[in-house]
């Protein structure tokens, strides 16, 4: 299974660095991945609760922490708990694959060596060693980490055999370069920290020429490079190598203090070296010198408990790709991009959701839930559970609108519904809603308070409430471009156009509205936050 990786998070862990022996005594039972490794893999993979394709050539969709399977489909959404379950399900298969490999080739692995190979299997599949004998690392594993002459493989050579496994579709991915070096340090030195201590990588860009050998080479950190791969280009002579980020010349005597991309600078030839312009990225990956028209992915770094919000770009325009990342197309001028984060909780120590175990500060809708709870629109299902993944029912929605209106007195209003009684928590809200023509119920005289709320009912109730309050509802969008637009009921069509146009609700994908689909409480909280913050008179 060919996998491509996207990176949203970095996991920082400080551990004591202890060089390990080549192999440990054989384990009596099958080994399991450590918690340290699981945290690292989750950080490398990144968490995506909506299905995406990490690369256009992929056959299937991916979701969660890199879960790639035939039953994942476009527009699919999962919860954090489901993502964790997928991850634990996946890791078992990769553990089994590495255990089988160890048995097949007679290897006795330490925990850190086992973990490094499980991480590789997470990218390449549980049986990658058997099917990729052209890879040096696969051969070394098959040969008990010895070369073809029976000599132990040196640490640097082993790290180099990790480092080269970092491309997708012929493209070298910077995040994978870092991951491979990290895995090598886990394997050799038990270093689970993302702060690398022994190795860095050189990524060689031949700039119109050809690299003889590997384009990625591992080097000892804080030592001179010593050597570079040979490069050639018809009609040209290599002048020097330069750092893609700083533009400064780099020689074999330069200290390899960090992983960097080295670009060949050529002399001679009929065509001058392409003009490049500098992109400076603060708070993420993507810095370098690029030619006009180059498309560069901006990848935000982790920033403690803060949540990435947006990029502030000067000199160009950033656009969001289908993979969820932002991209810049390089103009004929220098560009700067600064990552902007928002606090994990805008309320600080007074967080309205702090007692809800299912709304941690890292949850994608945390701040929206804070706002609607603080405003009194939403309450938890219990004191410790907001119910983020509980489907909203019709009565819940009208109750929230009733609270938003200040919970006015309804003692003079008539109960028009045969299935609503004064003993129900939603009684006052439903009387208020029917009296003000916001929630009129069904033709048979029922309201069906416990019936799951559909997306088209949701926007209809919101639209009626906005008109009842006298808000400006003149913003409409054409929904004809959605494939399922004809599935929107006639009573809800105007309301759906308004909600899309006002930015209160989005399609479930770029081509679908899912009008008959349901919405969970966290999603509705986000919509209410947009609604309450965006309405004007």
- What CATH number does the domain containing 131 carry? 1.10.530.40
User: How much is the pLDDT for 303?
Assistant: 65
Looking at residues 82-108, what average pLDDT do you find? 91
Q: Is residue 23 predicted with pLDDT exceeding 50?
A: no
Distance of CA 316 to the CA centre of its chain: 24
Q: What is the pLDDT of residues 328-356, one digit of tens each?
A: 999 989 999 998 887 667 777 788 999 99
Residues 6+ apart with CB under 8 A from 377: 400, 403, 404, 528, 532
Lowest-confidence segment of 24-28, 105-109, 423-427 by average pLDDT: 24-28
pTM of the model: 0.49
Q: Which of 273, 305, 330 is the last residue of a domain?
A: 273
In the numeric block, which tokens belong to residue 513? 């509205």
Q: Is residue 90 predicted with pLDDT exceeding 50?
A: yes
Query: Which of 520, 525, 528 has the alpha carbon at shortest distance from 79?
Result: 520
Cα R_g (the chain), whole angstroms: 28
Q: Which of 342, 366, 394 is the last residue of a domain?
A: 342
Q: Is residue 519 predicted with pLDDT exceeding 70?
A: yes
Claim to verify: residue 168 and residue 282 sit in the same structural domain = no
Q: pLDDT exceeding 70 applies to what percent of the chain?
A: 90
Q: Which of 287, 322, 342 is the last residue of a domain?
A: 342
Claim to verify: residue 381 and residue 527 sit in the same structural domain = yes
- Residues tagged active-site: 45
Q: What is the pLDDT of residues 169-189, one digit of tens each?
A: 678 888 899 999 999 999 999
User: Which position has the token pair 């029912």?
Assistant: 393
User: How much is the pLDDT for 271?
Assistant: 56
User: How much is the pLDDT for 375?
Assistant: 84
Q: What is the pLDDT of residues 189-212, one digit of tens each?
A: 999 998 889 999 999 999 999 998
Claim to verify: residue 267 and residue 280 sit in the same structural domain = no
Looking at residues 322-328, what average pLDDT do you find? 80
User: How much is the pLDDT for 362?
Assistant: 78
Average pLDDT along the chain: 85
Lowest-confidence segment of 229-233, 302-306, 460-464 by average pLDDT: 302-306
Claim to verify: residue 167 and residue 234 sit in the same structural domain = no
Most confidently modeled range among 137-151, 226-240, 465-479, 495-509 = 226-240
Q: Is residue 433 predicted with pLDDT exceeding 90?
A: yes
Domain containing residue 207: 198-273
CA 220 → CA 70, 77, 256, distances in Å?
41, 43, 7
Which of residues 7 and 63 earns the better pLDDT score? 63
- Angular region, 268: left φ>0, alpha ψ -120 to 50, beta rest: left
Q: What is the pLDDT of residues 251-299, one digit of tens each?
A: 999 999 999 999 999 987 655 667 889 999 998 888 999 988 899 999 8
Structurally, the chain folds into a number of domains equal to 4
User: How much is the pLDDT for 472?
Assistant: 82
User: How much is the pLDDT for 270?
Assistant: 56
Q: Which DSSP symbol is given to 301? A: P
Claim to verify: residue 44 and residue 170 sit in the same structural domain = yes
Q: What is the pLDDT of residues 297-317, one digit of tens each?
A: 998 876 655 667 889 999 999
Claim to verify: residue 134 and residue 50 sit in the same structural domain = yes
Q: pLDDT exceeding 90 applies to what percent of the chain?
A: 52
Claim to verify: residue 296 and residue 369 sit in the same structural domain = no
- Taking the CA atoms of residue 283, residue 287, residue 291 and residue 295 in that order, the dihedral angle to the nearest 10 degrees is -50
Claim to verify: residue 93 and residue 204 sit in the same structural domain = no
User: How much is the pLDDT for 5?
Assistant: 35
Claim to verify: residue 75 and residue 163 sit in the same structural domain = yes
CA 304 → CA 83, 362, 410, distances in Å?
22, 10, 48
User: How much is the pLDDT for 419?
Assistant: 96
Claim to verify: residue 263 and residue 399 sit in the same structural domain = no
Claim to verify: residue 516 and residue 409 sit in the same structural domain = yes
Claim to verify: residue 291 and residue 383 sit in the same structural domain = no
Residue 21: which pLDDT band, with cuts at 50, 70 and 90?
very low
Q: Is residue 505 predicted with pLDDT exceeding 90?
A: no
């Amino acid at each position: 299974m060919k996998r491509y990786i996207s990176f949203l998070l970095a996991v920082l862990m400080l551990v004591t660095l202890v060089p390990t022996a080549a192999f440990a005594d054989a384990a009596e039972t099958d080994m399991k991945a450590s918690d340290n490794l699981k945290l690292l893999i989750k950080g490398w993979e990144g968490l995506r609760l909506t299905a995406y394709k990490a690369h256009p050539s992929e056959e299937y969709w991916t979701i969660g922490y890199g879960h790639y399977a035939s039953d994942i489909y476009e527009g699919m959404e999962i919860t954090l708990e489901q993502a964790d379950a997928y991850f634990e399900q996946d890791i078992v298969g990769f553990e089994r694959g590495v255990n089988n490999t160890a048995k097949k080739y007679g290897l006795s692995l330490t925990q850190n060596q086992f973990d490094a190979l499980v991480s590789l299997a997470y990218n390449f599949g549980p049986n990658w060693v058997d099917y990729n004998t052209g890879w040096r690392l696969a051969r070394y594993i098959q040969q008990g980490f010895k070369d073809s002459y029976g000599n132990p493989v040196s640490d640097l050579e082993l790290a180099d055999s990790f480092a080269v496994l970092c491309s997708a579709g012929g493209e070298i991915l910077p995040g994978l370069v870092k991951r491979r070096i990290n895995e090598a340090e886990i394997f050799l030195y038990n270093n689970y920290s993302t702060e690398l201590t022994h190795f860095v990588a050189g990524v060689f860009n031949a700039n119109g020429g050809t690299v003889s050998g590997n384009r990625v080479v591992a080097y000892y950190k804080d030592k001179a490079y010593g050597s570079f791969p040979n490069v050639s280009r018809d009609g040209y002579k290599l002048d020097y190598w330069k750092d893609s980020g700083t533009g400064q010349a780099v020689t074999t005597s330069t200290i390899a203090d960090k992983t960097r991309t080295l670009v060949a600078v050529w002399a001679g030839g009929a065509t001058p070296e392409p003009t490049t312009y500098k992109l400076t990225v603060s708070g993420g990956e993507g810095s370098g010198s690029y030619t006009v028209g180059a498309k560069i992915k901006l990848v935000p770094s982790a920033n403690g408990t803060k949540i990435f919000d947006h990029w502030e770009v000067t000199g160009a325009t950033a656009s969001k790709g289908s993979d969820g990342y932002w991209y810049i197309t390089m103009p004929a001028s220098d560009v700067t991009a600064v990552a902007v984060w928002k606090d994990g909780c805008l309320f600080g120590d007074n967080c309205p959701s702090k007692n809800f175990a299912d709304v941690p500060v890292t949850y994608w809708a945390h701040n929206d839930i804070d706002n609607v709870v603080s405003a009194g629109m939403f309450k938890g299902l219990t004191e410790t559970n907001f119910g983020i993944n509980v489907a909203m029912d019709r009565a819940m929605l009208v109750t929230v609108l009733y609270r938003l209106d200040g919970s006015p007195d309804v003692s003079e209003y008539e109960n028009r519904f045969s299935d609503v009684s004064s003993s129900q928590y939603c009684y006052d809200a439903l009387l208020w809603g029917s009296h003000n023509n916001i929630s009129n119920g069904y033709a048979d005289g029922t309201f069906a308070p416990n019936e799951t709320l559909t997306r088209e009912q949701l926007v209809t109730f919101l639209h009626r409430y906005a008109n009842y309050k006298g808000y400006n509802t003149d913003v409409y969008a054409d929904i004809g471009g959605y494939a399922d637009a004809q599935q929107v009921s006639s009573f809800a069509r105007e309301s759906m156009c308004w909600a899309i146009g006002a930015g209160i609700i989005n399609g479930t994908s770029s081509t679908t509205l899912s009008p008959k689909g349901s919405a969970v409480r966290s999603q509705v909280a986000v919509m209410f936050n947009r609604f309450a913050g965006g309405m004007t008179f």
